[in-house]
């Protein structure tokens, strides 16, 4: 039976964030916390959260960052360290406000980077593991070319209209992300090797081989630099959205990872206290 979506609003630092829950409450089971991509939102996860809840038995929680979805606006231009600020200043408050007790951070693209920064910056005992879908740890020229192509699609194609279905202010959402990544100073500001080296929880990282925004070198850096256990999965023919391009493979990998993680260290979702 599909988990019904429960919409909530979180008060964070004087602003309000759009958020939603699927599956068990945090006192009944561990939680999968979803961190969206650079143009994402709660609604852009589509049916993935309910499928994830069904596959893992975990509660699933997602929120739209400031400036995205139906959350309150963010100031532009975004600082080049916007992912670090989200990971270190906003995400801890979100976990507090949502009442999260035990969780895995599942981040896609920018959200994967935010998850890695958070885990590399704090020993947050709530966070038991990371699932990273197409994460970025450093800037690649091929990725910048794809971001420049997205700018063209937003200005002259239908990308703005498509984003407008999911964001209160599609211009703010797009320009905040695109402007930061295309700033000449961004490659110097964005180097997550130090954060990777301080992650102390298990990681599942999934990379599509046909991802225009990042190559398998992102995954290889994680495998080389991390001291924590890393399970890497490369999916042939899959692009930047593994959970949409290959949902069955992703759900199976995440379910196995979380089952092993919580089965080893505490009661599993079926009998959590």
Over the chain, what is the mean pLDDT? 95
What pLDDT does residue 236 have?
97
What would the pLDDT profile of 231-244 be if each residue is shown by its tens digit? 999 999 999 999 99
Domains of the chain by range and CATH? 6-267 (3.40.50.1820)
Q: Percentage of the chain with pLDDT > 70?
A: 96
Query: What number is the average pLDDT over the span 119-130?
Result: 96
**Does position 272 have pLDDT exceeding 70, yes or no?**
no
Distance CA 164, CA 69 (A): 9
**Does position 271 have pLDDT exceeding 90, yes or no?**
no
**Does position 91 have pLDDT exceeding 90, yes or no?**
yes
Query: Contacts for 246-255 with beta carbons within 8 Å, 24 or more apart?
Result: 246/208, 247/48, 247/51, 250/133, 250/206, 251/51, 251/52, 251/55, 252/55, 253/204, 253/206, 254/32, 254/52, 254/55, 254/56, 254/106, 254/131, 254/204, 255/55, 255/56
What pLDDT does residue 1 have?
58
What would the pLDDT profile of 199-229 be if each residue is shown by its tens digit? 999 999 999 999 999 999 999 999 999 999 9
Distance CA 203, CA 110 (A): 16
**Does position 62 have pLDDT exceeding 80, yes or no?**
yes
What pLDDT does residue 11 have?
96
Q: How confident is the model at residue 273 (pLDDT cuts 50, 70, 90)?
A: very low
Query: What number is the average pLDDT over the span 31-56?
Result: 97
Q: How confident is the model at residue 263 (pLDDT cuts 50, 70, 90)?
A: confident
Q: Identify which of 149, 192, 155, 182 has the alpha carbon closest to the alpha carbon of residue 78.
A: 182
The pTM of the full predicted model, rounded to 2 decimals, is 0.95
Distance CA 225, CA 223 (A): 6
* Beta strands in 1-160, from DSSP E residues, in sequence order: 6-12, 15-22, 31-35, 59-63, 103-108, 127-133
């Amino acid at each position: 039976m599909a988990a019904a979506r429960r919409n909530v609003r979180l008060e964070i630092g004087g602003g309000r964030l759009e958020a939603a829950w699927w599956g068990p409450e945090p006192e009944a089971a561990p939680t999968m916390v979803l961190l969206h991509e650079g143009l994402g939102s709660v609604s852009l996860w589509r049916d993935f959260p309910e499928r994830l809840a069904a596959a893992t038995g975990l509660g699933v929680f997602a929120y739209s960052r400031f400036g995205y979805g139906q959350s309150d606006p963010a100031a532009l231009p975004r600082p080049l360290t916007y992912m670090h600020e989200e990971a270190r200043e906003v995400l801890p408050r979100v976990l507090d406000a949502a009442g999260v007790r035990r969780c895995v951070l599942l981040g896609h693209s920018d959200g994967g980077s935010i998850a890695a920064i958070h885990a590399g910056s704090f020993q947050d005992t709530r966070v038991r593991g990371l699932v990273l879908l197409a994460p970025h740890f450093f800037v690649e020229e091929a990725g910048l070319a794809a971001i420049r192509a997205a700018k063209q699609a937003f200005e002259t194609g239908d990308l703005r209209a498509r984003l407008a279905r999911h964001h209160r202010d599609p211009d703010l959402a797009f320009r905040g992300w695109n402007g930061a990544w295309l700033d000449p100073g961004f490659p110097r500001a964005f180097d997550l090797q130090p954060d990777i080296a301080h992650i102390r929880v298990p990681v599942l990282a999934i990379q599509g081989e046909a991802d225009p925004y990042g190559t398998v070198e992102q995954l290889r850096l994680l495998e080389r630099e991390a001291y924590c256990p890393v399970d890497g999965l490369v999916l042939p023919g899959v692009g930047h959205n593994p959970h949409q391009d290959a949902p069955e493979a992703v759900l199976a990998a995440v379910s196995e990872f979380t089952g092993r993680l919580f089965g080893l260290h505490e009661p599993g979702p079926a009998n959590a206290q």
